[in-house]
A and B are shown apart, each in its own frame.
Chain A
Amino acid sequence: MENSELKVPVMADLQAAGKSPEYLFWVGCAGAYDDRYKKVTQAFAKILLHQNIDFGVLGNEERCTGDPARRAGNEMLFQMMALMNIEVMDSYNVKKIITICPHCYNVFKNEYPELGGNYEVIHHTQFLKGLIDEGKIKVKNNEYITKLITYHDPCYMGRANEDYDSARDVITGLGAKLVEMKRNKASALCCGAGGGQMFKEAEEGKKEVFIERTEEALDTKADLIASSCPFCMVMLTDGLKYKNKEEEIYNYDVAEIVANALGL
């Protein structure tokens, strides 16, 4: 049983079986397609399964939330995506959404309600914090007790929604020590990918934002860089490569750190 294949429940199948899960796990486009972030999706799905959480994913029925389109000015496209997603989610009677992306989190929580989509939206760091607070995470792997971790605030969890603590509480909850970058929490520096930048070349300047931020993370002398956003992860990973540090210091998502601590 130890290495048996895990099956991720899909909403359509659940509905066919007459089931309506408590949570929709919103994987997001990066979570589904980005090779690095797929590992985060897997880690978080394993945690959900391990904890026997009643959830489902939309699978092939999931579509972009429209967030990057809206922030790049394409309101028409955003609203099209939003209305279509709301229709799909409402057809499954979704009440609670867990997302592993701060951009999806923000758009569901703050922008879908005006278009008729009202859900309880939970970012995975918040969900994990809940599990830790309830004592449901039994750490098997104590390697983090000796680790020094720095956490990069994603703009859309931090300033945009003023949640600076969930991820940090998870990290310290595993026994790790936190070290802050010079610019942190409300003054945290963006990774450079928001607002559509992820999909284009940066405008001309002296430096790439992700390099500036990676340098700041390296300055902390942390053993690893924690993040909780797919775009930030792409940027920080690129930054570490640029600095030739990718062999020495890793960038892990908070979900991966928890999965690892659980021995998953």
Chain B
Amino acid sequence: MIEQIIFTLAFVFGIGLFIYRLYRIYKYIKIAKPLKLKYRFQRIVRVLKIAVVQSKMFKNPLVGFLHAILFWGFIIVNIEMLEIVVDGIFGTHRSLAFLGDIYPLLISAFEVFALAVVITCVVFLIRRNVIRLKRFWSKEMTTWPRTDANIILLFEIFLMSSILIMNTADGILQSRGHEYFPELGVFLVSSYLQPLFAGMSDSSLIFIERLTWWFHIIGVLVFMNYITFSKHLHMFFSFFNVYYTKFDPLGKIMNMPSITNEVKLMLNPSADVPPPAEEMSQFGAKDAQDLYWKNLLDAFSCTECGRCTSACPANITGKKLSPRKIVMDLRDRVEEIGSKVLKQGKEFNDGKDLLSQISQEELWACTTCNACTEECPVNIDPLAIILELRRFLVLEKGSAPGPLNTMFANIENNGAPWQYSAEDRMLWAENLKKKSS
């Protein structure tokens, strides 16, 4: 009975904390500017394709396959959680056993996935720490992001191993005909592990079974909450992120209607322009709350895999720009200011902004080639963030690099980015001969 009470309290507390934290992140995302996105059936199709089937992960088929093991392993093994929770609350043992002959098959399936997940996590740990894949060691991958990744992989190894060990002990007790462990059939993976504990007494085995059971459920509750502070949050947020991705071609930049009205008035002072709908604050973004909520959702959906940065022409050639860093900086900034902005609203000012983290050198290195956006497996758009920051630099601070200001002046004065006269625009057509000489 005590066990049931402890379990129920721990479970409710763990889940409650998790939901509260997700709610906080939801509120944080909403500190940014609103953006109306229409429902479309294709959004669901796209979630199935990109988030569930993970089509973009299969650019590298082996990695796509390994990642799929982790994803499906997570989903399938978590069915086991259902049984653990029922057992924990009602003090039962293996409550799903009523399924009869299907039960050992089900457990065996969990075990196969658990083993596959353990192996995959070991491979991933080796890839990160022994092979040291370049994108896991670039500049923005400081101690914390690297540790975070390792913690996640180790957590998964421990959680999956605990299920296997629990089933091993349970299986031996079953074969010994222990009264609390009725015979349920062969568990595919753990039956091979039984020799490890074969010499142990019943009480030691029961202790191991209980310990791993508790370890698993407490571990899951802790991990769940850890995830909300970690890059691993992508496992929940990427679905929403893919759902809300724009449908426009990647080449299209978001319009600024507020400027259209100003320009219309400038070109024709008597133009019939509707008055600004909301009070004009500033053009572009200098901090997280000046961006759109989708940019912030992007930041929380990032798992720091670095595919964007590996594909970025600026980064490849040694420039400071790294699209992943931009996204990571944004998330850090939202976590830093989220609760303060919620409390203080527009008054909020901590003397810093997103641009204190992201240098102009980074922003001006971007070629807007969309390699990062194309590459991201969960459709994060680092370019959209870069462009909003550039807009602030140019429209509010007038701090574009000199040559770009010259280009602006040329366009304004001559109608071309270079200093040529419009009168010379047809020079190419002079002496145009049918046959080139």
Contact = CB atoms under 8 A, between A and B. Distances in A.
B365 interface: yes
Contacts of B333: none
Interface string B394-408: 110000110110111
Given A27-B425, A74-B408, A5 B431 contact: yes
A72 interface: yes
B416 A79 contact: no
A73 B266 contact: no
Interface stretch (B155-163, B182-190, B255-263): B255-263
A1 B317 CA distance: 52
A32 B369 CA distance: 24
A131 interface: no
A110 B426 contact: no
Interface stretch (B100-108, B170-178, B203-211, B385-393): B385-393
A199 B407 contact: yes
Contacts of B250: 159-162
Interface residues of B, number: 73
Contacts of B434: 1-4, 6, 46, 264
Contacts of B420: 29, 32-33
B425 A80 contact: no
A192 B316 CA distance: 11
- What is the interface residue range for chain A against chain B? 35 or more
Contacts of B428: 27, 31-32, 38, 41-42
B406 to A, nearest CB: 7
Interface string B408-429: 1001100111101011111111
A84 B267 contact: yes
A111 interface: yes
Nearest to A110: B252
A84 B263 CA distance: 10
Contacts of B283: 75
A62 B259 contact: no
A205 B403 contact: no
A158 to B, nearest CB: 9
B425 A83 contact: no
Nearest to B257: A114
Nearest to B375: A187
Interface in A56-115: 57, 59-64, 66, 68-77, 79-81, 83-84, 106, 109-111, 114-115
Interface of A: 1-8, 10, 27, 29, 31-33, 38, 41-43, 45-46, 57, 59-64, 66, 68-77, 79-81, 83-84, 106, 109-111, 114-115, 155-156, 159-162, 186-187, 189-190, 192-209, 212-213, 259, 263-264
Given A190-B371, A204-B361, 11 more contacts: A29-B417, A32-B424, A43-B436, A46-B434, A77-B412, A79-B260, A155-B370, A159-B251, A193-B367, A195-B367, A202-B317
